[in-house]
Amino acid sequence: MTTGIGTGATTGERDRQDGYAAEYAATAGQQAAFFREQAERHRRQAEQARIFADLSHGEDGAEQNRRAERLETLGRHGDTMAAAFEARARRL
Beta bridge partner(s), residue 10: 2
Residue 65 belongs to a domain: yes
Mean pLDDT of all residues in 79-88: 96
Residue 64 belongs to a domain: yes
Distance CA 65, CA 48 (A): 10
Q: Tens of pLDDT along 9-25?
A: 688 888 888 888 888 88
Number of structural domains in the chain = 1
Question: Taking the alpha carbons of 31, 33, 37, 40 in that order, is the dihedral positive or negative?
Answer: positive
Residue 21 belongs to a domain: yes
Residue 6 belongs to a domain: no
Show Cβ contacts of residue 31 under 8 Å, excluding neighbours closer than 6 positions: 81, 82, 85
pTM over 0.85: no
The torsion of the CA quartet 44, 46, 51, 54, rounded to 10 degrees, works out to -170
Mean pLDDT of all residues in 25-37: 95
Q: Tens of pLDDT along 35-64?
A: 999 999 999 999 999 999 999 999 999 999
| Residue 6 reports pLDDT greater than 70 | no
Residue 4 belongs to a domain: no
- Domain span at 46: 11-91
Residue 3 belongs to a domain: no
Terminal-residue alpha carbon distance, the chain: 25
Residue 5 belongs to a domain: no
Residue 1 belongs to a domain: no
